Amino acid sequence: MFKTLRIIIQDNWEWRSQILRLATTELRKEVHGTVLGWIWLLITPGIYLGVFWFGLAVGLRTGSPIDGVPYLVWLGAGIIPWFFISAMLSGGADVYRRYSYLVNRLRFPISAISSFYGLARLIVFLLTMILVFAIMALYRVPLTIYAVQFPVIVVVMYVFWTVWSMLTSPLSALSKDFGNLIRALSTPLFWLSGVLFQVNHLDSWWLRAFFAVNPITFFVKSIRASLCEDYWVWNEPNLIWPFVGVFFVMTLMALFIQNKLSLEVADVL
Amino acid sequence: MSYNARLIETRAMRSIVAIRFSHVTKKYRLYKNDRRRLASTFVPGVKYDEVLANNDLSFTIKRGESVAFLGHNGAGKSTALKIITGVTAPTTGTVEVHGRVSALLDLSAGFDARLTGRDNLKLRARLWGLSEPEITNLLPEIADFAEVGKYIDQPMRTYSAGMKARLGFAFASSLKPDILILDEVLSVGDRQFSQKSLARMQEIMSTEGVTLLFVTHALGSAEKFCKRALVIDHGRLQFDGPIDQGVSYYKKSTSAK
């Protein structure tokens, strides 16, 4: 187990410049040949955010400020991270099939495939956060001292979803059913997280427990905490400890799977 | 599946041995379906068939040798080359590789269809470990050799099979590796290009110390380039010796079937 962890860290360190290169190439691939180029990376989340705002605030009239935070700011601070999470949740779970040439045509450490994919998504995420900061400026929501949590949360988010990718991608490579299952789960996970509504107000304890162990809820809530809801994440034991537990168990599982399957993946693709 | 193999890789160019296989076996497990394969990760005792792609394979290749791997389709040649390249792991045995390996394992050669030829080359060069200025120097030469012309800035999905193969060959042969592995790459491309690639291979082989491993069904070019042949059948080594004898051994074994 520790040996697997050591190998993964070592591989990722040794190949760090190639990982960076692959991540930027990945982004170039997405914008290459389009007229608007990088702006496309902002347009899709922007429209999505607009549609949700329209549907919820204008259509369903639920757009009143949440604990004093303007609804659009609150929504944006949840939806934009969700874009990153959703890409990692489904796309990140199947990176070996998608980049099979890195697995069985070229010499490349397979755990680093998750790292560069995650990095590419993270760059897009940070870019789209511009939208959130712009909306915050528009509503005159100031950044406070709590914003120092933001970079830390971003790093934790990157590591968490990269580990997720290392856990699920070998299984998706072995079985298409597994990959389909993960993709199918992504929509319910969105609706059963705190992206669109406040989970503290739920009545039943088991629903609250479910949301507590849902890592999506943790990331969305802690990003809101740092940008607009203004509190320290570590002062909320109900938020942080279930997440730490989930992260720990997932890491153990990922190490088990990587140890068991990393050599086999090249043979099944 | 448990792997019990030893892999020794160095960049030691002083070593006389470039590649050594000692009792290398590669097992592939074939499951009836994906579900069983997935289940086998978590529970023991799931049924499967076993294929020995390489079966107790032992040979030593010295630095500077050029060796043809001959055998029928599915004999295990490509598996052995993949093990040397390091993209697949042997199940048991010991593999030694001394020197940097550049391999062209198949014709699509690990290019990303959505990237342009230039971006693909840059990426591959970067993965190989070249620095930015080295890449800038090398790129025009590769594009020129591959004769892709203006297509170099087009996505590779628009390339013809021949263009992809040419770019792959041009790239793999331009890296100045210590060990060059070519898996059936000369079977495509027009006459003119294969002449050109043959000339390029001749040039590479005249370089001191480059080891060439060559899989082909074109026995003529094997005889032209290689001094030694390994004939593999059903994953086992059937013949190891001078190329002319190897070719006639292989021809005999084909006609016997």
Domain layout of chain A by residue ranges: 2-268
Average of per-residue pLDDT across A205-225: 87
Q: Name the closest residue on chain A to residue B110, using Cα atoms.
A: A101
Which of B164, B157, B158 has the alpha carbon at shortest distance from B185?
A: B164
Q: Do B38 and A171 touch (CB under 8 A)?
A: yes
Distances (CA, A) of B20 to A35, A184, B3, B95, B207: 53, 48, 19, 6, 21
What would the DSSP string read from start to end of B142-163?
A: HHHHHT-GGGGGSBGGGS-HHH
Residue A263, Cβ neighbours under 10 Å: how many? Answer: 18
**Range in A248-252, B6-10, B91-95 the model is least confident about:** B6-10
Q: Name the closest residue on chain B to residue A14, using Cα atoms.
A: B129
- Looking at the predicted structure, is the pLDDT value of residue A251 above 90? yes
Distance CA B6, CA B179 (A): 20
CA quadruple B147, B148, B150, B156: dihedral, nearest 10: -170
Contacting residues of B for A261, CB less than 8 Å apart:
41
Distance CA B63, CA B210 (A): 7
- Looking at the predicted structure, is the pLDDT value of residue B217 above 70? yes
B239: distance to nearest CA of chain A, Å?
27
Looking at the complex, does the CB of residue B5 fall below 8 Å from at least one CB of chain A?
no
What pLDDT, on a 0 to 100 scale, did the predictor assign at position A132?
A: 92
Q: Do B123 and A25 touch (CB under 8 A)?
A: yes
A4: distance to nearest CA of chain B, Å?
14
The residues pairing with B22 across neighbouring beta strands, listed in sequence order, are B94
Q: And the tokens for B94?
A: 């010991």
**How do strand B228-233 and strand B236-242 relate by DSSP bridges?**
antiparallel
Distance CA B247, CA B229 (A): 7
pTM confidence score: 0.89
Looking at the complex, does the CB of residue B108 fall below 8 Å from at least one CB of chain A?
yes
B81: distance to nearest CA of chain A, Å?
11
Contacting residues of A for B119, CB less than 8 Å apart:
25, 28-29, 32
Residue carrying structure tokens 């010991």: B94
What pLDDT, on a 0 to 100 scale, did the predictor assign at position B251?
A: 86
Determine the 3-state secondary structure of B39 from DSSP.
Answer: helix
CB B52 within 8 A of CB B27: yes
Contacting residues of A for B37, CB less than 8 Å apart:
174-175, 268
Number of continuous H segments (helices) and E segments (strands) in chain A: 13, 0
Distance CA A9, CA B146 (A): 38
Query: Which are the contacts of B176, defined by CB distance < 8 A and separation ≥ 6?
Result: B207
- Looking at the predicted structure, is the pLDDT value of residue A240 above 80? yes
Query: Which are the contacts of B64, defined by CB distance < 8 A and separation ≥ 6?
Result: B18, B208, B209, B210, B211
Q: Do A17 and B126 touch (CB under 8 A)?
A: yes
Distance CA A110, CA A258 (A): 9
- Read off the pLDDT of residues A133-154 as tens digits, 9 standing for 90 and up: 999 999 888 888 999 999 999 9
Helix or strand (DSSP H, E) at B213: strand B211-215
Q: And the tokens for B245?
A: 């004898």
ipTM over 0.90: no
Tell me whether residue A142 is exposed, middle or buried, using C-beta atoms within 10 angstroms of its C-beta: 0 to 12, 13 to 18, 19 or more: exposed
Identify each DSSP E strand in chain A by its residue range: none
Order of strands, edge to edge, in the sheet holding B17-30? B4-10, B92-98, B17-30, B49-62
A36 band by pLDDT with thresholds 50, 70 and 90 = confident
Distance CA B65, CA B227 (A): 7
Which of A217, A210, A247, A176 has the alpha carbon at shortest distance from A85?
A: A217
Question: Which of A11, A171, A181, A267 best probes binding to B when mutated, by most B CB atoms within 10 angstroms?
Answer: A267
Question: Which of B123, B153, B185 best probes binding to A when mutated, by most A CB atoms within 10 angstroms?
Answer: B123
Distance CA A108, CA A125 (A): 26
Looking at the complex, does the CB of residue B171 fall below 8 Å from at least one CB of chain A?
no
What pLDDT, on a 0 to 100 scale, did the predictor assign at position A120?
A: 94
**Range in A2-16, A35-49, A103-117 the model is least confident about:** A35-49
Residue carrying structure tokens 């996970």: A189
